[in-house]
Amino acid sequence: KNEVEQSPQNLTAQEGEFITINCSYSVGISALHWLQQHPGGGIVSLFMLSSGKKKHGRLIATINIQEKHSSLHITASHPRDSAVYICAVQIQGAQKLVFGQGTRLTINP
């Protein structure tokens, strides 16, 4: 079993829909990252969380440390949100990230 599991693996929605991507992990962490990867391959860091909730524009990320679970929400989704969203955890005491497999999101106009 992977240390970081994302669901769903693929998600297709219509423009304007509310999107939720989930991430569960099985190890002790010091922080959790949400990343966005566009078709060209480059990765952009969206959020770094160690507790609670963060919001940036239409994106909201939450984390529940006790349940070892995080969600990424996108409100009023738009076709430009189409990308692969990756959850990564920073292992406690280790200088490395462990990545989920990613969720491929497609927003249709």
Partner 1 sequence: DGGITQSPKYLFRKEGQNVTLSCEQNLNHDAMYWYRQDPGQGLRLIYYSQIVNDFQKGDIAEGYSVSREKKESFPLTVTSAQKNPTAFYLCASSQGSNYGYTFGSGTRLTVV
Binding residue (CB under 8 A) for partner 1 from 33, 61, 74, 77 = 33
How many C-beta atoms surround the C-beta of residue 45 within 10 A?
A: 11
HSE, side-chain direction, 13 A CA sphere, residue 37: 14
Binding residue (CB under 8 A) for partner 1 from 1, 39, 40, 80 = 40
The span of 11-19, 60-68, 75-83, 89-97 binding partner 1 (CB under 8 A) equals 89-97
41 binds partner 1 (CB under 8 A): yes
- Give CA–CA dist 38/33, Å, rounded: 16
Q: Which is nearer to partner 1, 24 or 90 (CB)?
A: 90
Q: Are 34 and 46 in contact (CB under 8 A)?
A: yes
The span of 12-20, 39-47, 55-63, 71-79 binding partner 1 (CB under 8 A) equals 39-47
Q: Measuring CA to CA, which residue among 30, 2, 34, 4 is closest to residue 20?
A: 34
Q: Which is nearer to partner 1, 40 or 57 (CB)?
A: 40
